């Protein structure tokens, strides 16, 4: 986090009228209600023989956010929480009394992002617990054994937490064959012969030596991967499916069907959507709208071609007048950078932050919007640490006279608030799908100057499948 945030941490420490709760102390008991209305009493968990991990953080705290997004505590909760062996309780405590519930959900004015989304353990908004445990900085992470003894463990990894519990609180048993399918968003230049990747994550009590992973398209198996190896607890194995032809409107899922010759312990955990997108077409002239945060002097970017060569770059931008570089004319604004790209190539965008806390601080949206011919074709947010690469964000095409004549159908404005105007030289039928593949709109016999009305849908990205006498095309729609 920036120097201003470090000052807040030091101020918090200076305001404390007591020292940090020392290791070896008996844990102060508490009863608290989480943001979902569930009650948690520490003494009841300990009496049931459970070890309790408490992460006391603040929504504005950069190191807290980085630890939260390491997902180490999610991993511990997956393996040993209620849906696993039920031997460990993980609690997240927002410990700054000045922050709000909106800050936890990422919509407030004093937050790093959405702390609730994706978390699989209870979240409690309570400065009372922070004061009870006499913390002097954020984050403070405690391990409390069933005998009630407290130890501060720092921002420990899942494996380190597991080892510490085994050594100090009693051995963890775990469960057999607890695996999780996972996959990051994947973007490709074309629809043919792609390599799709999915991950097999081990949360079980034994190493994974073999298994079967399926890739499904709209629920139908399109590839099977029988894998082997030696994946340790909390380890990950990445598997690749080759020569996959992509349907941009389809929903893809990865499913682990066997592990070590047995059925996965949790069938739901063994299935994961695989987000796949095809890079947007652009002309050779592209505008990047750089939406800066409060520290523009730390922000830079690159555009790389298909050979991973940097073809354009920008930043860092002008630092502000504050001692830590905050503010100034380039802060919390949009800087437009125009670049020229070659035809018949594919490009990726790399966003960088020299401090290592992404483009997130400030009151305006942060990230990059890519425009081609006045239409936004891709957008990416600024929530990362040091670097974020969005592969295959755009591909160019050579637009000649013959191509213009064949372009019988167009939609504008794009993005839109919901009303899209249609220009077409042929009668068209249109079906609109969301990113899950669900059809959300359909219309037949659309003529020139027709309108597609999507005002009833949520903001986000959609795909329109357009059919005319000249053929079929897929158009990406951005709903603001």
How high is the mean pLDDT in each 10-residue block of the chain (480 residues)?
39 43 94 97 98 96 89 96 96 95 89 89 96 93 97 94 97 97 90 93 96 97 96 94 92 97 96 91 91 94 92 95 92 94 88 87 84 87 83 69 45 79 81 79 84 85 79 75
Peptide bond into 181 cis (omega under 30): no
Q: What angle do CA 146, 150, 153 make, to 5 degrees?
A: 110
For 423-443, b where at least 16 C-beta lie within 10 A, e where not — what string? ebeeebebbbbbeebeeebee
What is the chain's length? Answer: 480
Residue with tokens 């594919």: 346
* C-alpha dist (Å) from residue 195 to 260, 273, 384: 25, 16, 25
Domain 179-277 in CATH 3.40.50.720? The answer is no
Let me know: does 302 contact 347? Beta carbons within 8 Å.
no
Q: Which fold has domain 3-168?
A: Glutaredoxin (3.40.30)
Q: How many contiguous H segments (helices) and E segments (strands) does the chain have?
A: 8, 32
* Predicted local distance difference test score (pLDDT) of residue 19: 55
* Predicted local distance difference test score (pLDDT) of residue 392: 85
Phi then psi for 306, rounded to 5 degrees? -65, -20
Q: Which of 119, 53, 116 is nearest to 90 (CA)?
A: 53
Residue with tokens 């609690």: 91
Residues near 15 by beta carbon (within 8 Å), at least 6 away in sequence: none
C-alpha–C-alpha distance, residues 269 and 285, integer Å: 44
* Predicted local distance difference test score (pLDDT) of residue 273: 95
Let me know: does 461 contact 475? Beta carbons within 8 Å.
no
Start-end ranges of CATH 2.60.60 in the chain?
A: 280-396
Element (DSSP H or E) covering residue 5: helix 3-15
Q: What is the pTM of this model?
A: 0.73
C-alpha–C-alpha distance, residues 253 and 276, integer Å: 10
Phi then psi for 443, rounded to 5 degrees? -150, 145
C-alpha–C-alpha distance, residues 254 and 269, integer Å: 11
* Predicted local distance difference test score (pLDDT) of residue 4: 38
Strand-pair partners of 416: 479
Start-end ranges of CATH 3.40.30.10 in the chain?
A: 3-168
* Predicted local distance difference test score (pLDDT) of residue 397: 65
C-alpha–C-alpha distance, residues 301 and 313, integer Å: 5
Residue with tokens 């469960």: 175
- What is the sign, positive or negative, of the torsion defined by CA atoms of 299, 302, 308, 310? negative
3-state SS class at 334: strand
DSSP label of 297: G
Domain 280-396 in this protein, CATH class: mainly beta
* Predicted local distance difference test score (pLDDT) of residue 333: 95
C-alpha–C-alpha distance, residues 326 and 319, integer Å: 7
Token pair, residue 120, equals: 């699989």
C-alpha–C-alpha distance, residues 315 and 296, integer Å: 8
3-state SS class at 96: coil
* Predicted local distance difference test score (pLDDT) of residue 232: 94
Start-end ranges of CATH 2.60.40.10 in the chain?
A: 179-277
C-alpha–C-alpha distance, residues 239 and 226, integer Å: 9
* Predicted local distance difference test score (pLDDT) of residue 182: 95
- The answer for 219, left when phi > 0, alpha when psi is -120 to 50, beta otherwise, is left
Let me know: does 169 contact 245? Beta carbons within 8 Å.
no
Let me know: does 208 contact 259? Beta carbons within 8 Å.
yes
Strand pairing of 140-144 and 150-152?
A: antiparallel
Phi then psi for 102, rounded to 5 degrees? -60, -35
Which option is the CATH number for 401-479: 2.60.40.1120, 2.60.40.3080, 3.30.1490.20, 3.40.50.300?
Answer: 2.60.40.3080
Sheet containing strand 460-468, edge to edge, reads: 439-446, 428-433, 460-468, 471-479
């Amino acid at each position: 986090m920036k120097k201003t945030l470090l000052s807040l941490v030091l101020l918090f420490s200076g305001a404390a009228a007591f020292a940090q709760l020392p290791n070896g102390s008996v844990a102060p008991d508490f009863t608290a209600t989480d943001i979902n209305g569930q009650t948690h009493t520490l003494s009841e968990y300990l009496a049931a023989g459970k070890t309790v991990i408490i992460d006391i953080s603040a929504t504005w705290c950069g190191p807290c956010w980085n630890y939260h997004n390491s997902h180490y505590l999610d991993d511990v909760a997956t393996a040993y929480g209620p849906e696993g062996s039920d031997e460990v309780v993980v609690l997240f405590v927002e410990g700054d009394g000045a922050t709000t519930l909106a800050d936890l959900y990422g919509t407030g004015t004093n937050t790093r992002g959405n702390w609730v989304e994706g978390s699989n353990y209870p979240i409690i908004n309570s400065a009372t617990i922070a004061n009870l445990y006499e913390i002097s900085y954020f984050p403070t992470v405690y391990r409390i054994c069933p005998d009630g003894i407290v130890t501060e463990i720092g921002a420990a990894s899942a494996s380190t937490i597991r080892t510490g519990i085994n050594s100090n609180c009693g051995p963890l048993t775990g469960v057999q064959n607890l695996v999780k399918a996972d996959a990051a968003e994947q973007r490709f230049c074309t629809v043919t012969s792609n390599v799709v990747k999915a991950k097999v994550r081990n949360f079980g009590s034994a190493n994974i030596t073999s298994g079967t992973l399926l890739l499904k398209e709209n629920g139908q198996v399109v590839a099977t991967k029988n894998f082997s190896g030696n994946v340790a607890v909390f380890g990950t194995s990445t598997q690749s499916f080759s020569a996959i032809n992509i349907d941009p409107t389809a929903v893809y899922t990865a499913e682990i069907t066997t592990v070590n010759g047995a059925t996965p312990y949790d069938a739901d955990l063994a299935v994961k959507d695989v987000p796949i997108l095809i890079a947007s077409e652009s002309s050779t002239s592209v505008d990047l709208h750089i939406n800066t945060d409060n520290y523009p002097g730390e922000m830079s970017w690159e555009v790389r071609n298909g050979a991973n060569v940097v073809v354009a770059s920008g930043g860092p931008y002008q630092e502000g007048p504050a001692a830590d570089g905050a503010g100034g004319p380039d802060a919390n604004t949009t800087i437009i950078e125009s670049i020229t790209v070659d035809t018949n190539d594919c490009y990726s965008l790399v966003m960088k932050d020299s401090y290592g806390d992404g483009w997130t601080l400030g009151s305006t949206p942060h990230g990059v919007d890519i425009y081609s011919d006045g239409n936004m074709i891709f957008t990416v947010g600024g929530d990362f640490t040091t670097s974020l690469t969005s592969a295959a964000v755009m591909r160019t095409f050579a637009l000649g006279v013959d191509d213009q004549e064949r372009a019988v159908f167009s939609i504008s404005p794009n993005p839109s608030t919901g009303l899209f105007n249609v220009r077409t030289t042929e009668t068209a039928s249109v079906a609109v799908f969301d990113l899950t593949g669900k059809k959300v709109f359909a219309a037949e016999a659309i003529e020139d100057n027709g309108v597609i009305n999507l005002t009833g849908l949520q903001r986000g990205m959609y795909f329109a499948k357009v059919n005319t006498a000249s053929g079929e095309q897929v158009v990406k729609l951005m709903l603001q």
